[in-house]
Structure 1
Amino acid sequence: MYQYLKGWLMMITTIALDLDNTLLNSAKEISEENERVLKQLHKMGKRIVLCTGRPIQGIQKLLTQLELFEPTDYAITFNGGLIQHNQTQRILAQTTISKHEVAALYQDAQKRHYPIDVIGADQVYSLITLGKSAYESTMGAVLPFTDVSFDDLPVDQTFGKAVCAAPAEVVQRVRKEMPAELNDLLHIVPSRAELLEFLPNNVNKARGLTQLMAHFGETLDNAMTFGDEENDFEMIAQAGIGVAMGNAIPQIKQVAKAETLTNNEDGVAAYLKQYFNL
């Protein structure tokens, strides 16, 4: 599908989708209509890319449902920090944090009393001396969790990210009072009201998508993105067509080029059917 934008002809080759409250409804499911439309576009040759803060192990069910296991099918995980081939899980690009960055975060968490979980390649480390968070209750079926002290966190390993899973008011306070040195060291962004993510500096979904598009000799101008939350901001603002969900926060709607229905109204399918004349 071609569209004239700012005086030149653009082709959308790639549809990149946030998951929670975007592609997924309130039951954390891909609706039948969203599934039908995305499968139709995939068969027409469009790349369908899931962009999420979760590790790839956490989206296998969704990749299977959408049948995204062709040679050109990749996923962007850890909010842009990791790009992997869906079928082989071969890494195309990766940016990580080390125990050094986690140490600075841990010191702040000790002072201000909030929980931290550190996500590695194949497991999650709960820094138990800070108190057990709710993260395992939501992610425990995806990756194994290990309760460790900070000293026992592996020093010879890198990590995709750290998270603070806590009630919304705690997450809001933690972020509002974050020391400047940590804001300079890490990219700190909420992915939902109850989850604050600590990513490698300069990592975001737009950066990951840019790396993936470059792999195919293309740019973000060839991408259509869907999102609702602050961690989607860059990919909505920078894509050729950034689409805000009807339930998106105001900051996302302000930078989007289009808006669709909510995630519970099959907003993804509704916009795609209109744009691609399905």
Structure 2
Amino acid sequence: MKPVFFIDYDNTIFSHQTASIPESAVAALKMLQEKGCPVAIASGRSLRTSQLPEELREHFTPDCFVSSNGAIVEIEGKLVWEKYFDPELQKRILDYVLEKQYCLTCGYNNIWYTSNIDRFMKNISPARKAMAPRHGKDFLELYEKRVPSFFLADSREAIDDLQAHFPEVKLLYMGDNLGGADIIPRENGKVIGAKRVLDHYHTDLSNAVAIGDSMNDIELIRAAGFGIAMGNAMTTVQAIADYVTADIDQDGLAQAINRALTHFADQFA
């Protein structure tokens, strides 16, 4: 079995500095599929084949998705797993962020919501300001939605405070470059989702490549047979990786993929 690649999206495939996907990354992703390597996007975003970002849809269709940090798993166009927040826990989190006036964001069926539009416009990356999220009274619609993850687009102090008040969840800091933190149920994570994909292909984590840049990638990079941190990754992520590649805007993903193929060269002999 050829190695299975699990690749983060934001600042690993898609550059928030240029608001685009490097051409070298697109070519490397297509080359992997041509070589028979399944490619899974492992992201904190809620991604599926039917909900691809426009910039990715124009160039490349992954084989699988481990999205919302493992809460949603899609394999070759088929949804095989969904895991949502407990409704009571979800309500308490939403109540708390509104009380504290924190900036929580969430996407649902391609509609975006935020609890604090002013902080959203101040804190979010330029590439995401175009999301034009619903806010104010419209934000209350989230109380009735089944949601797999949230994103706290706020300060480190806000992240630490929410984590202290809700031990049932994990807040995964996205790094100083992107900022904010994914919020997921404590029992979720990319490793759990990746194992479901690997089971489908009758292989295991020793035959997996994981590439990423932020805290929500650490568990998978550490567990994979070959874990790679981007050059723009947090130092904590780089410290646990088997290999550190170049920055995303310096052909980092293409270099990472080529290095991983060298590591598994015997499977292509």
| TM-score grouping bracket, smaller chain normalisation | 0.7 to 0.9
Residues 58 and 114 of structure 1: CA distance in aligned 2, closer, same or farther (over 3 Å): farther
Q: Does the Cα contact within 8 Å between 1:187 and 1:199 map onto a contact in 2?
A: yes
**Partner of residue 80 from structure 1, selected from 51, 70, 76:** 70
Q: Does the Cα contact within 8 Å between 2:67 and 2:73 map onto a contact in 1?
A: yes
Q: Does the Cα contact within 8 Å between 2:2 and 2:36 map onto a contact in 1?
A: no
- Ranges in structure 2 where 5+ consecutive residues have no aligned partner: none
Which AA in structure 2 matches 1:243? I
1:47 aligns with 2:38: yes
Instruction: Give the aligned CA root-mean-square deviation in angstroms.
Output: 2.9
Measured in 2, the distance between the counterparts of 1:230 and 1:78 equals 14
Shift of 1:199: 1.3
Measured in 1, the distance between the counterparts of 2:236 and 2:248 equals 17
SS in 1 for 2:134: strand
Measured in 2, the distance between the counterparts of 1:148 and 1:21 equals 30
Measured in 2, the distance between the counterparts of 1:64 and 1:218 equals 30
1:157 aligns with 2:145: yes
Measured in 1, the distance between the counterparts of 2:153 and 2:59 equals 28
1:209-267 CA deviation, whole Å, 9 max, x = no partner?
11111122221111101111111111111111001112221211221111211212112
User: 1:1-278 residue pairs with structure 2 within 5 A?
Assistant: 12-25=2-15, 26-56=17-47, 57-68=51-62, 73-85=63-75, 88=77, 90-127=78-115, 133-134=120-121, 138-139=127-128, 145-147=133-135, 149=137, 152-153=140-141, 157-166=145-154, 171-178=155-162, 180-182=164-166, 184-193=167-176, 194-276=179-261
1:111-165 CA deviation, whole Å, 9 max, x = no partner?
433122333345333346x8662369755766x8433548943655311222222
Q: Does the Cα contact within 8 Å between 1:124 and 1:145 map onto a contact in 2?
A: yes
1:9-62 CA deviation, whole Å, 9 max, x = no partner?
xx6521111122222333132222222222122111001111222222243541
Q: Does the Cα contact within 8 Å between 1:164 and 1:196 map onto a contact in 2?
A: yes
Which AA in structure 1 matches 2:23? E
Q: Does the Cα contact within 8 Å between 1:126 and 1:145 map onto a contact in 2?
A: yes
Of 245-254 and 131-140, the range deviating more from structure 2: 131-140
Q: TM-score, normalised by structure 1?
A: 0.79
SS in 2 for 1:79: coil
Q: Does the Cα contact within 8 Å between 1:98 and 1:157 map onto a contact in 2?
A: no
- Ranges in structure 1 where 5+ consecutive residues have no aligned partner: 1-10
SS in 2 for 1:15: strand
Q: What is the count of residue pairs matched by the alignment?
A: 255
Q: Does the Cα contact within 8 Å between 1:125 and 1:148 map onto a contact in 2?
A: no
SS in 2 for 1:29: coil
Percent of aligned positions with the same letter in both sequences?
19
Measured in 2, the distance between the counterparts of 1:150 and 1:185 equals 26
Q: Does the Cα contact within 8 Å between 1:12 and 1:221 map onto a contact in 2?
A: no
Measured in 1, the distance between the counterparts of 2:35 and 2:217 equals 26
Which AA in structure 1 matches 2:159? R
